[in-house]
């Protein structure tokens, strides 16, 4: 957003004189006094500057292609599925589903999702609206809140995406390093997160972009609501991942 605002400020500063001249000529032709003409031009210039710096960028930023040009974080937008590796086997989460999206209402990016065990039971949900782009490692650092389930081991009969019982949020933070196939297309990531609680939890994970495959999966599983679709999709990806390891 800052880059876009700076760009528009340069453009508007160059255009304002071109706008002021015809306005002044119009006022002179209508016998408006020089003093009034000056006031009108100043007010018009200030109004255009305020609109171009505060209002216009927000409207433009709602368009993805504008964000893609001016915002480094835009290349991470999308749907992702992940394999989670818990340190010291603290809990049973093995996979996850998360999105990285631009919130048009709050005008910021949000990283949010859930982690599941092998049965698709939600172990933790998280949301991180505090995102910092880190140019040095081409990724991001995030800070947010997570809600962990107060149960873990569950029988296989538990339905996918079963809601967690705990309502006590804990702090979560971490980093994501993205990689791609060239240019600005990003399609894979590695990262870690730390949940700060009475027993701090640290995990590493690998993730891939799943936009197209996720859309197909949703249409094939339309009988499920979206939380269940996400859980089932993450587990199916984990099962494919385990099968791929057998071929190594």
Strands (E), the chain: 78-86, 95-103, 108-116, 122-134, 139-148, 169-182, 185-196, 201-209
Q: Tell me which residue range forms the domain holding 222.
A: 73-246
pLDDT band at 158 (very low <50, low <70, confident <90, very high): very low
Do 65 and 96 belong together in one domain? no
The domain boundary, picked from 52, 70, 88, lies at 70
24 pLDDT higher than 80: no
Compute the mean pLDDT over every residue in the chain, rounded to the nearest whole number. 76
Model pLDDT for residues 163-208, shown as the tens digit of each residue: 444 556 778 888 888 876 545 568 888 888 887 766 667 788 899 9
pLDDT at 154: 42
Say whether both 40 and 92 belong to one domain: no
Statement to judge: residues 196 and 216 lie in one domain: yes
* Cα 13 to the center of its chain, rounded Å: 32
Phi, then psi, of 139 in degrees rounded to 5: -155, -155
Q: Which pLDDT belongs to residue 199?
A: 64
Counted residue by residue, the chain has a size of 248
* Residue 58 shares a structural domain with residue 175: no
Question: Can you point out the beta strands (E) in 2-92?
Answer: 78-86
pTM above 0.85, yes or no: no
Considering the domain architecture, whether residues 142 and 237 belong to the same structural domain is answered as yes
The Cα-based distances of 176 to 55, 87, 188, 244 in angstroms read 31, 17, 10, 24
Q: Is 231 exposed, middle or buried (0-12, 13-18, 19+ CB in 10 A)?
A: buried
pLDDT in tens, 74-129: 888 999 999 988 765 566 788 999 999 988 887 788 999 999 988 888 888 888 88
Whole-angstrom Cα distance, residue 84 to residue 71?
Answer: 28
CA distance 153 to 119: 9
90 and 199, same domain (yes or no): yes
Q: Does 124 share its domain with 230?
A: yes
Greatest mean pLDDT range, 9-18, 135-144, 182-191: 135-144
37 and 94 inside one domain = no
Percent of the chain at pLDDT > 70 equals: 67
Q: Which of 38, 70, 102 is the last residue of a domain?
A: 70
Q: Where among 70, 95, 122 does a domain terminate?
A: 70
Assess whether 174 and 106 both reside in one domain: yes
Pairing between strand 169-182 and 185-196?
A: antiparallel
Burial 73-90 (b: 16+ CB within 10 A, else e): bbbbbbbbbbbbebeeee
- Say yes or no: 110 and 169 in one domain: yes
| 129 and 230 housed in the same domain | yes
Split into its structural domains, the chain has a count of 2
Give yes or no for a contact between 236 and 225, defined as CB atoms under 8 angstroms apart: no
Verify that 65 and 87 share a domain, yes or no.
no
For residue 128, the domain's CATH number is 2.40.128
């Amino acid at each position: 957003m800052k880059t876009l605002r700076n760009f528009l400020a340069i453009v508007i500063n160059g255009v304002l004189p071109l706008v002021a001249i015809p306005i002044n000529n119009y006022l002179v032709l209508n016998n408006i006094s020089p003093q009034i003409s000056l006031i009108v031009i100043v007010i018009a210039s200030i109004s255009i500057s305020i609109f171009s710096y505060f209002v216009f960028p927000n409207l433009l930023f709602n368009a993805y292609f504008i964000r893609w040009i001016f915002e480094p974080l835009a290349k991470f937008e999308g749907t992702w599925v992940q394999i989670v590796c818990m340190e010291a086997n603290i809990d049973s989460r093995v996979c996850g589903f998360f999105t990285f999206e631009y919130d048009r209402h709050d005008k910021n990016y949000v990283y949010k999702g859930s982690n599941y065990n092998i049965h698709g039971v939600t172990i933790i949900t998280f949301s991180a609206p505090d995102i910092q782009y880190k140019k040095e490692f081409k990724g991001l650092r995030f800070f947010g809140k997570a809600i962990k389930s107060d149960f873990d081991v569950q029988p296989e009969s538990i339905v996918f995406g079963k809601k967690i019982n705990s309502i006590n949020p804990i702090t979560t933070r971490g980093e994501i390093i993205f990689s791609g196939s060239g240019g600005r297309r990003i399609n894979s990531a590695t990262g870690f997160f730390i949940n700060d609680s009475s027993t701090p939890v640290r995990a590493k994970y690998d993730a891939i972009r799943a936009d197209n495959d996720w859309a197909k999966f949703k249409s094939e599983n339309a009988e499920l609501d979206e939380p269940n679709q996400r859980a089932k999709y993450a587990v199916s990806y984990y099962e494919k991942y385990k099968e791929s390891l057998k071929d190594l």
